[in-house]
Amino acid sequence: MSAGGGATPVDASAGTDGSARDAQQDACSPSGECGKICDSGSVSCVGAVVGLQTDRSNCGSCGHDCLGGECSDGNFQPFAVVTNQYNPIYVAVNATDLYWTTGTGGVLSAPISGGPAVKLYSGKEAEGIALDSSFVYWSTYLGGTILRMPLHGGPVTTLLTPTTRPLGIAVDSTHLYFTTFYGDVMVMPITGGTPVTFVPATSNAFVGGIAVNAVNVVWGSWPDVVEVPLAGGTPTVLVTGQPTQSSPVGIALDGLNVYWANEYGGLVAKAPITGGPPTVIVSGFSTYAGGVAVDSVSIYWTASDATNVGSIMRLAK
């Protein structure tokens, strides 16, 4: 399986830690020790000879599982967890489920392992989405609100009454952060209240997704990915020079990297959270890419074609 028509091959040689996975160039081990070369493209992995170029459980190196996708030329390939979604926008993930918003105003969820999508909410156009251990939060771009409900459905609580046009949102244990159509980054108590300006708008034309960790708030501000400490301060550019008309829409963080999806061209990329050159993870897979989310083993993003029919994609790290 390839990464799609005209797609750039997925870079699976860079794991979560950014290191290359090089097979050991040794003789085949009689005991089946993992990583010993047996012949061209094959190794002994836990007693079984496998082809690292195509084996889904040992893709590129022993034990590197594709987690449901295919292995091609030793690289993980993306696959759809959920299909036939109209205009999926932002996506979030926890230990068991994916959550996403759609242009028709829906908030939906489905198991990470695959299964039917469940609509949790129908209303005005839903946009950004975020999770904590109890709730799913989302913004309504046209309605100008931020709402939340229990993770598996229930009463909807309005946290932000109609005001600015909120886009991307992120939460930590005490606060909710969101970007606006006007370019500001705002912050408010996670239980609701009056938002205040965290970082005022700059001359950049568009802001998009936002993420937060224990140290920084990170967001897309075309053509850059920028960060600022939780305590506030002057934004620092982590990544610059994203293509014209291809804003960094979705933003996600893990312990080492910042991930983003560019709206046009279907590009998903990452860069070290401490700064450094970007690495393209996939490009050209779809007409549009939107939100992006990560967990410890996979990357997820929304992908749509020219008619706005889309999927929630997954790629093992």
Q: pLDDT (tens digit, 9 = 90+) per residue, 163-218?
A: 778 999 999 999 999 999 888 999 999 999 999 999 998 765 578 899 999 999 99
Three-state SS annotation for the chain: CCCCCCCECCCCCCCCCCCCCCCECCCCCCCCCCCEEEECCEEEECCEEEECCCCCCCCCCCCCCCCCCCEECCEECCEEEEEEEECEEEEEECCCEEEEEECCCEEEEEECCCCCCEEEEECCCEEEEEECCCEEEEEECCCCEEEEEECCCCCCEEEECCCCCEEEEEECCCEEEEEECCCCEEEEECCCCCCEEEECCCCCCCEEEEEECCCEEEEEECCEEEEEECCCCCCEEEECCCCCCCCEEEEEECCCEEEEEECECCCEEEEECCCCCCEEEEECCCCEEEEEEECCCEEEEEEECCCCEEEEEEEEC
Is the sign of the CA dihedral 110, 212, 271, 285 positive or negative? positive
What is the pLDDT at residue 15? 42
pLDDT value of position 28: 41
Domains and CATH numbers, the chain: 1-77 (no CATH), 80-316 (2.120.10.30)
5-61 pLDDT, tens digit per residue, is 344 444 433 444 333 333 333 334 433 345 554 544 566 665 566 788 898 988 988
- C-alpha 243/C-alpha 247 separation (Å) is 7
Structure tokens at 161: 């009454």
Q: For residues 252 and 61, give the distance between their C-alpha atoms in angstroms, rounded to a whole number.
A: 26
Say yes or no to pLDDT of 226 above 80. yes
Name residue 173's beta-bridge partners.
none
The mean pLDDT value for 212-234 works out to 91
What pLDDT does residue 48 have? 67
Please confirm whether the linkage preceding 223 is cis (ω < 30° from 0).
Answer: yes
pLDDT at 96 over 80: yes
- 295-305 pLDDT, tens per residue? 999 999 999 98
